Chains A and B, each alone.
Chain A
Amino acid sequence: MRFLTKNLSLPVIVTWLIYVFLLVPSLVVIPISFGTSNELVFPPQDWGLDLYRRALDPAEGWLAAAGRSMVLGILATTIALLMGVPAAYGLSRSRFPGQKALTFMLMSPIFAPTIVVALALYLYFATLGMTGTMAALAMSHAVVITPFILVTTLSGLKHLDRNIENAAMVMGATRLQIFFHVVLPALKGSVLTGGLFAFLLSFDEVIVSWFIARSDQPTLPVKMYSSIQWEISPVLSAISTFLVAITVVGSVVAAFISSAETDGI
């Protein structure tokens, strides 16, 4: 429909404006982060790395928060992968009564409003006397990110040739052997991309952490949240640039893995 796009120039302009609208907020923080002043100005008058120096200053607490988020992300992703990948395999390779309901239950953290999940986990861990612990945080994040592992693993499993598994079974391999020696190696790509996205989700998660984390030991997003709420400091632009960079690197790596996988097939 060549001439359609040519004739409808107004819709085309609107479309490009929407792309700009989508991209600008992620990009605008980058030039600001290389400014030096104590006020937020765009474009910056002087350029320098002052804001990064301040962001890395241990006294500001950003480094500790980033470290906490990193540890939390790794823990939660590990829990989610250890339980999610086998579960996806079990769900995709068997039929049993109530399977639909079980799948819905396992996926439901995606549909439930995050605030409700956050409140539920807060009350739960408060009754158990575990609020503020890393264990509570890691389990809470695992609940939120496991459905995404399920989705990516299930879609990876769909592309696997079932005949290879059948062949292994005919030759006498047990379920576990098939899972570890046949399915997992073939599934490496989707498990890696799923894990990567799950980690990013956990690293950026703010609402559940806002309820569960101790206020004197915030994760990076929680520290950002309270910082934006109280005073909007230019240091935030350096932190934001760091987060955008992580997102871009993560997405590029994920795209690379998945395209390598499709090329391989």
Chain B
Amino acid sequence: MTTPMLRRDGRTRTMLNRLGFGSFVLPLTLFMLLVFCLPLIGVVRTSICDGDCSLVAYVDFATGKLFHRALINTLSIGFVTGLVSVICGYFVAYHLSRMTARRRRFFLVLVMLPFWTSILVKSFAFTVILGTDGIINNALQAVTGTDIVIPMIFNRAGVIIGMAHWLIPFAVFPILSSLLSQDKALRDAAEIMGARPWDIFWKVTFPLSLPGVIAGGLMSSVIGMGSFVTPALLGGRRDMMMANLVDFYVREALDWRMASAIAVILVLIALLILSLAAWLRQRQESGAAA
């Protein structure tokens, strides 16, 4: 008679425990459903139904010149900044990977400081540094004795410099972790067999760090493609990206449907690139296994 009682007791207990865990996750889950998922669904809905329902916003996007330019800007600025960030990030990550953990802690602060600095502080600083009357141009004029002015702001160069500055840390971390996970014995073996430093780097270190390079590059490209502040403050009129177009359609044109459609397309592009990254990683892993 006692055994079923015990079993029931045990069962209630596990059920209560399960509920207990559920109640820990439940508040946040409800909150995110209500204040994140529902609003996102709202964007998809608004892109089709705003008063009446039609795909007019998407048709406009496919045919409008303004949208084509924003799309091309978004893709090309994202790609170029991703590339610049990976190249710069590689130098930093390599440097960080070849020092003691203690020293690395200090240098990581140097990388994290710009990461945590407000993007507005950085944008303001870049206007001061790169402007026509800025620090670099003034210094150039003083050194050369001419009134040379290199336009570095309110154009594509300004956007890419500002964005790379913001995205380099995002590239540093994946590259650093793939550099740190390499077995030092491989390099030592290559060295013993007479390989020169350059050969070791290009034939051992770099190929092994490629997963980190690809992850860092795609990551910084995707983040860059969604950027809003940098192109608005450091770019010119011709450097408008899709995020800025969203802002324009909400504030100036008051066309929520168009703004939503642009946002949906932006998310689709980001998803496409992220799944490309996942696919590449999977292929690499299965390749390594085989």
Which residues in A have some Cβ–Cβ distance to B below 8 Å?
1, 3-5, 7-8, 11-12, 14-15, 18-19, 21-26, 28-29, 32, 40, 42, 82-84, 86-87, 89-91, 93-94, 96, 102, 105-106, 108-109, 111-117, 119-124, 127, 139-140, 142-143, 146, 174-176, 179, 200, 204, 206-207, 210-211, 221, 224-225, 228-229, 232, 236-237, 240, 243-244, 247-248, 250-251, 255
Contacts and interface: CB of A to CB of B under 8 A. Distances in A.
Interface string B222-246: 0001101100110000000011001
A142 B31 contact: yes
B118 interface: yes
Contacts of A240: 118, 120-121, 124-125
A60 B112 CA distance: 32
Given A28-B128, A113-B225, A120 B40 contact: yes
A210 B42 CA distance: 19
Given A22-B92, A111-B270, A232-B128, 8 more contacts: A18-B168, A26-B114, A87-B27, A96-B18, A115-B226, A116-B43, A117-B39, A248-B113
B110 interface: yes
Contacts of B42: 120, 123-124, 127
Interface string B119-139: 111111111110001010010
Contacts of B266: 113, 115-116
Contacts of B274: 111
B185 to A, nearest CB: 13
Nearest to B138: A42
B180 interface: no
A228 B165 contact: no
A168 B280 CA distance: 45
Contacts of B32: 105-106, 143, 146
A221 B118 contact: yes
A114 B46 CA distance: 18
B43 A243 contact: no
Contacts of A244: 117, 121
A93 B201 CA distance: 43
B245 to A, nearest CB: 9
A7 B114 CA distance: 30
A106 B28 contact: yes
Nearest to A119: B263
A37 B43 CA distance: 47
B284 interface: no
B29 interface: yes
B203 to A, nearest CB: 14
B263 A102 contact: no
B21 A4 contact: no
Most buried by B among A25, A28, A123, A243: A25
Nearest to B122: A25
Interface in B233-290: 233, 242-243, 246-247, 250, 256, 259-260, 263, 266-267, 270, 274
Interface of B: 17-18, 20-25, 27-29, 31-32, 35-40, 42-43, 46, 88, 91-92, 94-95, 98, 109-114, 116-129, 133, 135, 138, 165, 168, 187, 197-198, 200-201, 225-226, 228-229, 232-233, 242-243, 246-247, 250, 256, 259-260, 263, 266-267, 270, 274
A102 B270 contact: no
Contact of A21 (B36, B165, B225): B165
Contacts of A29: 121, 124-125, 128
B28 to A, nearest CB: 4
A222 to B, nearest CB: 9
Contact of A11 (B91, B109, B119, B260): B91
A170 B53 CA distance: 59
A237 B124 contact: yes
A118 to B, nearest CB: 8
Contacts of B122: 25-26
A106 B29 contact: yes
20 contacts: A19-B92, A22-B111, A25-B117, A25-B122, A25-B125, A25-B129, A25-B165, A40-B128, A83-B28, A109-B36, A113-B226, A114-B226, A115-B226, A116-B40, A123-B43, A123-B46, A142-B31, A225-B120, A232-B128, A240-B125
Contact of B28 (A1, A19, A146, A243): A146
Nearest to B196: A7
Nearest to B33: A105
B24 to A, nearest CB: 3
Nearest to B20: A175
